[in-house]
Amino acid sequence: MANHAFADLVGDEQVFFTEYFNKKPMLRKNAVPGDPRDILSLRKLDQLVNLEVIRPPYIKVNLKGDGVPEQGYSRNVVVQGQTITDTVDPEKIYELYRAGATVTWCSLNHIVPEMRDFTRVISEKMAVRTDTVAFLTPSAKKGYPPHHDPVDLFIVQLEGSKHWKLWNPPTPRLGNNAQYTLEGLGEPEIEVSLQPGDVLYLPYGTPHAATAEGSGSLHLSIMMRPRMWRDLLRETLDDLVGADVFNEYPHIGEARAADVEAVFKEKIHELVARLESVDTSAELDRLADLGRHLPGSSKGNTFQAIADMDDMGPASRLRRGKAPLAFGEDDNGRTQLTVNGHKIAVPTPIAETLAALGPDASITASHVFPGVDELRSAKAAQGLTRLGVFELVPAG
C-alpha cells in the first residue's frame, strides 16, 4: 500500500482536477494496479480484530440500521495486572457480522502504518486532513440509507462487490450530513456494481446509496475533509490576532469605560490593516502546509534516527539539519552558534565548514572538522547531529 500513488485513485490528475474534483462523481473501473487486497484484506481485518488492542470507536457495528452499543461487543483484557475494560471481543464481532451487521473500521490510518503512509500521500496532494475507514458489509445487506456526507470520498472496492447509485450534488451544496429517499432522488448519475480494484470519487454532498452483493463486500473509504474559505480565513485570522497588539484585557461588562468602544474600533482597524497586507501567496503556502500535517498522516522515525546517529562513523554522509542556525563571532578559535535558540561554542573550523555548506550540499563526517583526525571529526559531527545542526543523508 505504501507504494500506491495518488494517480492510482484519480488517474490523469489534470482531468480529475478540471472535470471532477469538487464538481461531480467519477467512476474508474480497474483503477488500482495489482491485487487490491494488498491495500487491505479480510485476512488483515481478521488479524486486527484479534489483536486485543482495538477499542471502540475504532470499530463500530451497525445492525438493521441501528448502531450496536459498544458493550455489546467489548470485553476486559488484563495487561500486566491492569484491566482494560473496553477492547473489542472478536467472537462477538463475528457473531454480529453473521447476523447481518455492517462492521466499520474507523480511522484505520491510526492503527495500520501502511494506511498512514497512504493518507500522507493524499494529504500532501490535497492539503487536507485524510482518514481511511473500511466498511465490511455481509451479503445483500443495505449498508446505510441514501445520504450525503460532509467530506470528499474516494471509495476503493477491495473484496466482493457492491452496488452503488450516485446522484450529482444538489445546489446549494451544504457541508452537512443529509438523508434522502430513493423516490425523491430520481434517476442516478452513476449506477454501478463496484468490483475489486474499482474506484469511485464523490465530492462532498454527493447523494449515494450502496448495497452489498453476493459474498459481501469490503471497501475502503478515504475521507478528505474540505477546508472551506471560512476554515482557511479562520486560520489566517487566528494567526493575525496572535500579535501582541491584541494582547490586552478590556473590561466590557456593565462598568465598562466610555472609551472601550473607540478602542474596539481601533483594534478592528488594526486587524483590517493586517489582513490587507497579508502576503496571499505565502499565506496559502502556510495554510497548505498546515493541512498536510494535520493528525492522521504524520510520520515519526525518531527511534530509527537515534539508532542511526549512534552508529555514525567518519564515512557517514551529512547535510544541514532543519534546526535554525545563527553564527556568532570568533573568540580565541571558537565560534558561538545559536541552534534552535540554544547557544553552543564550536571550534571555528567547524563553524566555517557549516557556513560554507549549501542547503542542498552534503559532506562526510570526517570532513566536518578540518585539521583533526577523522575519528575526532566524526565525534564532533555526531554531537552536532544530535543537536539538529546536521542530519544524516539516508544511504542509497
List interacting residues with Fe ion (CB under 5 A).
149
Which three cell numbers, joined as nine digits, stand for 267? 483594534
Please, what is the minimum distance in Å from the beta carbon of residue 24 to Fe ion? 16
Judged by CB, which is closer to Fe ion: 90, or 205? Answer: 205
Please, what is the minimum distance in Å from the beta carbon of residue 148 to Fe ion? 7
Rounded CA separation 298/293 (Å): 6
Rounded CA separation 182/109 (Å): 33
Please, what is the minimum distance in Å from the beta carbon of residue 147 to Fe ion? 6
Judged by CB, which is closer to Fe ion: 74, or 102? Answer: 102
Please, what is the minimum distance in Å from the beta carbon of residue 363 to Fe ion? 53
Please, what is the minimum distance in Å from the beta carbon of residue 244 to Fe ion? 46
Residue nearest to Fe ion (CB): 149
Please, what is the minimum distance in Å from the beta carbon of residue 7 to Fe ion? 24
Judged by CB, which is closer to Fe ion: 149, or 198? Answer: 149
Judged by CB, which is closer to Fe ion: 38, or 189? Answer: 189
Q: Are 100 and 63 in contact (CB under 8 A)?
A: yes
Judged by CB, which is closer to Fe ion: 213, or 308? Answer: 213
Please, what is the minimum distance in Å from the beta carbon of residue 315 to Fe ion? 54
Q: Are 337 and 326 in contact (CB under 8 A)?
A: yes
